[in-house]
Chain A
């Protein structure tokens, strides 16, 4: 089952009513396929999908028959079936799943004029607003490293461009984003919190086309290059080209008029490549690649700092898909993914290099099949991890100090998984999954973990459904976040001697209700417990000497719970949604706060996002997004004293202070010169933070000495004031 773009339609319901009044039902799988055994004879077929108009068809089945539902092409003896796939911008699935096509949300205001997948996710329930200058995702009280970020089945370890200003993924190359807060699919594992699945193009291009956008800060371009009928490339590229402009915007603002930082220089590029060839009807081969590189330079005379920071991502994955028969598909893919960051610093004439990298080589094999009308997927995954968590080289220390931190960590992870989606009756269905992980690191740390994934879905009425789910997750590769803002010096570590693996139990209930054709709502509640979480309270490194990582990290537990609500209107002149999350996220570490429970950094009690777009006519369109969230937590000193003639601060309980509430209103106006499904030319004006509300990204209190005067200086930094931008989007 495909739509007019030849994209697969997943989870469409197909109902069969035979002339003997027997009823059958089947749903399409992730490839848009369905298969069912029914008695021969006349049959009435109803096709239903939440994003499609209902269709029906009467046909006589005499033998094994392949039915293809597409917009234009009708095969076999079928009468004309038109599936109107006027896809909704945002789809709510069962069990707290959500998916959207970023291109359909291009009218939602964004800083760069192009859809930002991470920022869009932050407008959905269960995801905390990361604030300015941070490109991380905080889902249901988890840490940023707890989300599995997949680009075409490959984990991506880097997550943001500098300060989260630019979208990390080029949305022109992405056809769909699937977001699962519950991690129900046993195919995916290795993270405690959610799964974000970013799919690039799925079918080979039919004709040459070009699309992109030209903006003030960056531009992007995507080419579709067909080679023959069933083979082709998609190539995308993006680059910032006016670093100086970025410098002006990023320059921190200081109320006291003292400019801390003298110079900023920043630039990045990225490129995506997708190659697809349909070798035959049964064999498809594809290669996906994603490359990105960032460079950031900062010169700060106040602390005589001169720092150069570079970080990069490389992802490549060849995949072979084999349709063994109508009901069975085999998928095999290799992948290589690498993330690296290097910071070279020259502070007070001390030359220092801090670098880290993570490299994975992996193989995934999965088979989708049907057992007694129950779709099943099974498979295994192998990954080899090669990490250098933090390699510190300091000029005057390397001479005398052993290279203790540079030692690489190697680990192997093997997982087998299976999942089934049985349907017990018309009103009750379920998803069962099991993932078994075996992890071994070279420090002889091994673990074998079972991860059940269970969901029951109850549909008392066509427009109402309830679900309840339980999942268990384990995480062996963890992210250490050291910086207060989105500066990618954060690094990944592997569970090894002294660093335990993490686990979580996730309980969730929810209800989806379709109010009318266009309006639907969902309400979810969740509770999550997390074990062996990591805090890294030392800003950067202990600075005096290379210490071992396991001495510096702290291990503790966490809990998170909350309620999420979303109301959305899908089409019409006005479309948009309201998302509200009420949540709590706490941590307990024996070595922090005297072992007492404290709120996690991104414990924001309230998170409200309102997103709306309105089409005045074919030419003019406006968009609005409104964010309100409670301030995130930080640790503030409660007193200070002198030690060796130097004022030093004594900090209170961990995360004892709260930032002001975060409020931001963005608006956009789009003018279409022309717009069809094949061609478009749109001018976009956006105003970021329209009401110029101060949203500090961090607060630092320092004891300053000025001659004989000693005072406590509160330094509040914000990143954006009101920020207008203009961009031109095109497609030919």
Chain B
């Protein structure tokens, strides 16, 4: 009897312990940091999107999210000779839908650009240089089977043998995707190229906000923009970590639990100069 009583007390104990299990999700405190998404391409003006990161426990709806978008910062870009203050404009294609952009300063290959953001007594800085442009040699819309109504993009370009290059391939389907979406496996390091003449199949990247279910291929009738960008090692590492978050971040079995790499001192995100070349291809509807 004594033993049974003991056993009973023991099980009661277990029940008490199991009921008092803490809510581990609430134990992690969220922190808000300034996020920079900035770029400058050759022949174009610098553009910067600013926001604050949203704490994981924050309750978010279409109004409260606006509190995390930054519209009142002072954003300047200098190329060593000139300094320009960027002005904020609304851009519905982007999230957050406000882009700080320049008007006078135009990106040049080889030049270094320093970004400075001043917001609520905080100053954050980042530096980047625009690398050489690598032109796209050819872009083709290829079908595995001629009867298919879908296909892939086949891309060719010549790696600059004398330079160290990092590439990003991105695509945008007109009127479906508002921004260029980095292709799956589309970040390339030239050290791994078997031949300087590069020819590869491009898999469409995942656009999370897409209204339709993700498909890795393009459809007949699409107007596709294909962009080949050169970037720095920092940019390459950043986009690799971004891709890792997009693809592995959803996998429970191989979880990605590393933050994105960043070159922003005092904040998150990226300020990167790109050498870009874009071509468009109109696929024929049957």
Chain B interface residue count, Cβ-Cβ cutoff 8 angstroms: 85
How far in angstroms is the closest Cβ of chain B from A402?
5
Nearest to A612 among chain B residues (CB) is B7
Nearest to A656 among chain B residues (CB) is B28
Question: Hey, what's the 0/1 contact readout for A540-551 against B, CB within 8 Å counting as 1?
Answer: 101111110000
Given contacts A643-B37, A649-B259, contact A404 B192 (CB under 8 A): yes
B186 close to A (CB within 8 Å): yes
Given contacts A539-B256, A637-B56, A648-B260, contact A397 B185 (CB under 8 A): yes
Inter-subunit contact A348/B216 (CB<8 Å): yes
Task: Name the contact of B185 in the complex, choosing from A404, A544, A626, A635 (C-beta under 8 A).
Answer: A544
Inter-subunit contact B17/A663 (CB<8 Å): yes
Inter-subunit contact A649/B249 (CB<8 Å): yes
A30 close to B (CB within 8 Å): no
Inter-subunit contact B252/A715 (CB<8 Å): yes
B30 close to A (CB within 8 Å): yes
Residues of A within 8 A of B67 (CB): none
Nearest to B217 among chain A residues (CB) is A349
List B1-26 residues whose CB lies under 8 Å from chain A: 10-11, 14-15, 17-18, 21-22, 24-25
B187 close to A (CB within 8 Å): yes
How far in angstroms is the closest Cβ of chain B from A251?
13
B27 close to A (CB within 8 Å): yes
Inter-subunit contact A663/B27 (CB<8 Å): no
B222 close to A (CB within 8 Å): no
Inter-subunit contact B56/A642 (CB<8 Å): no
Inter-subunit contact B259/A651 (CB<8 Å): yes
Given contacts A663-B18, A715-B252, contact A542 B244 (CB under 8 A): yes
Inter-subunit contact A631/B24 (CB<8 Å): yes
Given contacts A542-B240, A544-B185, A545-B189, contact A537 B258 (CB under 8 A): yes
B251 close to A (CB within 8 Å): yes
In whole angstroms, what is the CA distance A176 to B269 when docked?
56
Task: Name the contact of B14 in the complex, choosing from A348, A626, A714, A715 (C-beta under 8 A).
Answer: A626
B221 close to A (CB within 8 Å): no
Inter-subunit contact B62/A701 (CB<8 Å): no
B230 close to A (CB within 8 Å): no
Inter-subunit contact A400/B200 (CB<8 Å): yes
How far in angstroms is the closest Cβ of chain A from B54?
5
A659 close to B (CB within 8 Å): yes
Task: Please indicate which of the listed interface residues B51, B194, B209, B253 has the most CB atoms of chain A within 10 Å of its own CB.
Answer: B253
Nearest to A714 among chain B residues (CB) is B25
Task: Name the contact of A639 in the complex, choosing from B22, B54, B192, B201 (C-beta under 8 A).
Answer: B54
Inter-subunit contact B53/A484 (CB<8 Å): no
Residues of A within 8 A of B253 (CB): 483-485, 487
Given contacts A397-B185, A717-B252, contact A642 B95 (CB under 8 A): yes
Task: Name the contact of A643 in the complex, choosing from B28, B217, B269 (C-beta under 8 A).
Answer: B269
Residues of B within 8 A of A424 (CB): none
B203 close to A (CB within 8 Å): yes
List B129-155 residues whose CB lies under 8 Å from chain A: none
Task: Name the contact of A638 in the complex, choosing from B56, B193, B240 (C-beta under 8 A).
Answer: B56
From B101-109, B115-123, B176-184, B277-285, the one touching the partner chain is B176-184
Residues of A within 8 A of B25 (CB): 636, 657, 699, 701, 714
How far in angstroms is the closest Cβ of chain B from A591?
10
Inter-subunit contact B27/A639 (CB<8 Å): no
A641 close to B (CB within 8 Å): yes
Nearest to A394 among chain B residues (CB) is B185
Question: Hey, what's the 0/1 contact readout for B256-283 against A, CB within 8 Å counting as 1?
Answer: 1111100000001110000000000000
A401 close to B (CB within 8 Å): yes
Question: Hey, what's the 0/1 contact readout for A297-313 against B, CB within 8 Å counting as 1?
Answer: 00000111100000000
List B185-212 residues whose CB lies under 8 Å from chain A: 185-189, 192-195, 198-203, 206-209
Inter-subunit contact A646/B240 (CB<8 Å): no
Inter-subunit contact A544/B37 (CB<8 Å): no
How far in angstroms is the closest Cβ of chain A from B187?
4
List B201-239 residues whose CB lies under 8 Å from chain A: 201-203, 206-209, 214-217, 239
In whole angstroms, what is the CA distance A160 to B86 when docked?
58
How far in angstroms is the closest Cβ of chain A from B55?
5
Nearest to A614 among chain B residues (CB) is B3
Given contacts A350-B203, A660-B21, contact A650 B216 (CB under 8 A): no
A210 close to B (CB within 8 Å): no
B73 close to A (CB within 8 Å): no
A265 close to B (CB within 8 Å): no
B65 close to A (CB within 8 Å): yes
Inter-subunit contact A545/B188 (CB<8 Å): yes
List A233-280 residues whose CB lies under 8 Å from chain B: 260
Inter-subunit contact B185/A545 (CB<8 Å): yes
B111 close to A (CB within 8 Å): no
Task: Name the contact of A401 in the complex, choosing from B32, B192, B202 (C-beta under 8 A).
Answer: B192
Residues of A within 8 A of B217 (CB): 349
Task: Name the contact of A700 in the complex, choosing from B33, B200, B252 (C-beta under 8 A).
Answer: B252
Residues of A within 8 A of B207 (CB): 645-646
List A411-427 residues whose CB lies under 8 Å from chain B: none
Inter-subunit contact A349/B203 (CB<8 Å): yes
Residues of B within 8 A of A700 (CB): 252, 255
B250 close to A (CB within 8 Å): yes
Inter-subunit contact B37/A644 (CB<8 Å): yes
Residues of B within 8 A of A402 (CB): 192-194
Inter-subunit contact B28/A650 (CB<8 Å): no
Question: Hey, what's the 0/1 contact readout for A702-713 against B, CB within 8 Å counting as 1?
Answer: 100100101110
Residues of A within 8 A of B202 (CB): 396
Inter-subunit contact A711/B60 (CB<8 Å): yes
In whole angstroms, what is the CA distance A626 to B214 when docked?
46
Task: Name the contact of B35 in the complex, choosing from A628, A634, A643 (C-beta under 8 A).
Answer: A643
Given contacts A537-B258, A636-B56, A644-B37, contact A349 B28 (CB under 8 A): no
B243 close to A (CB within 8 Å): yes
Task: Name the contact of A545 in the complex, choosing from B21, B52, B187 (C-beta under 8 A).
Answer: B187
Inter-subunit contact A701/B187 (CB<8 Å): no
A661 close to B (CB within 8 Å): yes
A-B contact pairs, 8 of them (CB 8 A): A348-B206, A540-B256, A635-B257, A637-B56, A642-B96, A657-B28, A660-B22, A663-B18
> Which 3 pairs from chain A and chain B are nearest by CB?
A540-B254, A539-B254, A639-B53
Beyond A348-B184, A651-B257, 6 extra complex contacts between A and B, CB < 8 Å: A396-B185, A484-B253, A543-B248, A639-B53, A641-B54, A646-B242
